[in-house]
Amino acid sequence: MTDSELNTTVYYDDDADRSHIDDKTVAVIGYGSQGHAHSQNLAESGVDVVVGLREDSSSRAAAEADGLRVETPAEAAAEADIVSILVPDTVQPAVFENIRGGIEAGDTVQFAHGFNIHYNQIRPPEDVDVTMVAPKSPGHLVRRNYESGQGTPGLVAVYQNVTGDAREEALAYAHGIGCTRAGVIETTFREETETDLFGEQAVLCGGMTALVKEGYETLVDAGYSPEMAYFECLNEMKLIVDLMYEGGLSNMWDSVSDTAEYGGLTRGDDVIDDHARERMEEILEAVQDGTFAREWIAENQAGRPSYTQLKHAEETHHIEQVGEPLRDLFAWADEESDDAETAEAAADD
Ligand code: NDP
Ligand code: MG
């Protein structure tokens, strides 16, 4: 179904042909955020599902209590026609070597993020289909939306199509987990991986936290109270983002005061200036040429020394010490914890 105002095609329930998955067995490897949602949604959609978990898995009891059949990853993969790899990206290469033997010609290896395929950390056999079905949401919402009859928007991509029916099968899987109820767009492994990494580094997780911290420190260093700086630079961020999310930039500008609008329109580009744009282009280049991927893989192989150090510095930043007691004093934090969880997990994908 093509919307003439879009540069892309959006697929809905009617565009998916469930016969491409209904007589197949799907192995869902992992029962974490995405894994529990995909396996339960597929099973309730009538698809034969087997969950693959390591011998000592702490999730086995939960999966069985949810009515699912559990095998080891290698057994589950051997039994299945579609193997959906839903363990953390950093452990996927090792897990894949463990299940490789059970993946036969004509089977499908499926991902929810393109990193390991795009950066050649997993090289699947040449005689299998390789696809992606990636809900644009954390797993608990994929599950909750399915249960409530709504859907979760998602992406599909095909990397290898030996059977000729990889795309149709991916759409059928997207139907099974509820994504085509909300709408699914087609992308490539390269585009999904590179835009995802760039966005989380430059704009969402990295860019936004840096903006918040610099603003907070500017106010506190100038003698304003940390509590005021926290509200102004961190807490209000959500209110502004919500307005943009609901109706774009114009909706936000229309909702704030004229003074805020004039001040923001005249000063924003002074902060995020040509220099910031050059840094963004460098970040994108490091994503595109694999520099970032190599760095992150080496960091994991070395036991995550920089990651651990940076994480600690962030956790002990002044704004964190000011924010924690403040959030406890106000009621909104509890009410909106679902939203916070959503944002946190969305940044993980
Ligand atoms: P999780 O971190 O939630 O996965 C946890 C599961 O992986 C657990 O069942 C765990 O097993 C298993 N696991 C961890 N390490 C190993 C190992 N060494 N061997 C075998 N099993 C292991 O992953 P996510 O659901 O967050 O991510 C899965 C995929 O989905 C990734 O590719 C991610 O990029 C993508 N994605 C994630 C999104 C999100 O919001 N989280 C959104 C969109 C895509 P055990 O139970 O035994 O501990
Ligand atoms: Mg098999």
And the tokens for 155?
């992406």
Contact 244, 337 (CB under 8 A): no
C-alpha 180/C-alpha 17 separation (Å) is 11
Q: Which residues contact 76 (CB under 8 A, 6 or more apart)?
A: 27, 28, 29, 50, 51, 52, 83, 99, 102
- Annotated catalytic residue 20: no
Confidence class for position 3, pLDDT limits 50, 70, 90: low
Supply the residue whose CA is at minimum distance from atom 36 of ligand 1.
Answer: 349
Catalytic residue from among 20, 36, 38, 113: 113
**CA angle at 106 for the pair 101 and 110, rounded to the nearest 5°:** 75
User: Of the bound ligands, which one is closest to the alpha carbon of residue 86?
Assistant: 1
Q: Which atom of ligand 1 is nearest to the CA of 111?
A: 32
pLDDT value, residue 349:
47
Confidence class for position 176, pLDDT limits 50, 70, 90: very high
Contact 49, 43 (CB under 8 A): yes
* Residue at 234: amino acid letter: L
C-alpha 82/C-alpha 78 separation (Å) is 10
98 C-alpha to center of ligand 2: Å? Answer: 13
pLDDT over 70, % of the chain: 93
Parallel, antiparallel or unpaired: strands 129-135 and 108-111? parallel
Contact 172, 18 (CB under 8 A): yes
As a whole number of Å, the CA-based R_g of the chain is: 22
pLDDT value, residue 344:
46
> Which residues have CB under 6 Å of ligand 1?
30-35, 53-54, 57-59, 86-89, 91, 95, 111-113, 134-135, 138-139, 345-346, 348-349
pLDDT value, residue 293:
98
Q: Is the pLDDT of residue 23 over 80?
A: yes
Strands of the chain (E only): list them.
10-11, 25-29, 48-52, 69-71, 82-85, 108-111, 129-135, 154-160, 184-187
Contact 131, 170 (CB under 8 A): yes
C-alpha 173/C-alpha 54 separation (Å) is 24
315 C-alpha to center of ligand 1: Å? Answer: 23
C-alpha 32/C-alpha 52 separation (Å) is 11
H or E element in which residue 18 lies: none
The arithmetic mean of pLDDT across residues 239-250, rounded, is: 97
Q: Is the pLDDT of residue 44 over 90?
A: yes
Q: Is the pLDDT of residue 70 over 50?
A: yes
Return the number of other C-beta atoms located less than 10 Å from residue 289's C-beta: 10
The arithmetic mean of pLDDT across residues 225-243, rounded, is: 97
Residues at Cβ < 5 Å from ligand 2 ion:
102, 104, 107
pLDDT value, residue 334:
54
Average pLDDT over the chain reads: 94
pLDDT value, residue 7:
81
User: Of the bound ligands, which one is closest to the alpha carbon of residue 109?
Assistant: 2
Mutation choice for ligand 1 from 72, 86, 116, 145, CB with most ligand atoms inside 8 A: 86
The arithmetic mean of pLDDT across residues 225-254, rounded, is: 97
- DSSP character for 338? H
C-alpha 286/C-alpha 281 separation (Å) is 9
Contact 163, 129 (CB under 8 A): yes
Supply the residue whose CA is at minimum distance from atom 22 of ligand 1.
Answer: 87
pTM value > 0.85: yes
Q: Is the pLDDT of residue 257 over 80?
A: yes
Residues 291-317: pLDDT tens digits? 999 999 999 999 999 999 999 999 999
Please report, in angstroms and rounded to a whole number, the separation of the first and last CA atoms in the chain: 27
User: Of the bound ligands, which one is closest to the alpha carbon of residue 57?
Assistant: 1
C-alpha 83/C-alpha 100 separation (Å) is 10
